[in-house]
Amino acid sequence: MKASGFKMTPKRLDLLAYLFEANRYVSAREVAEELRVSHPSLSYDTIYRNLNDFAAIDILETTELDGEMKFRAACQSGHHHHHLICRTCGKTETLDVCPMEWVSPIKDSGFEVEDHKFEIYGRCAACQK
């Protein structure tokens, strides 16, 4: 964070700790509710801004679920992968196969792919019960 120009404050540490412990996609509203216990003066705007800043420097990953931006701690796996994401609880599971391997028309189009993201949405086993 320091290399990206951010000060490490107790509020930011608590925000990141919550996301790393949650290990699932959460909304800024969920983060705000959790952090207001220990930081009652912390505004929703400040939380949302920090979440976006952390996503911009790849500490967090983002996705949109049901029209709302959600955030989770960035994967530390070190290898290329994608996710299965539960729409109900936000839990993610790693999908170690990359569907880009099957998209051959792109290879023949002359288009240079710089990045991609595949997410598969559904309900995890626990939320199906």
The 10s digit of each residue's pLDDT in 42-66 is 999 999 999 999 999 989 999 988 8
Query: Is the pTM above the cut of 0.75?
Result: yes
What's the pLDDT score for residue 41?
92
Cβ within 8 Å of residue 102, ≥6 positions away: none
Contact 86, 123 (CB under 8 A): yes
- Please give the sequence-ordered ranges of beta strands (E in DSSP) within the chain, or none if there are none: 26-27, 60-65, 68-73, 82-86, 92-95, 119-122
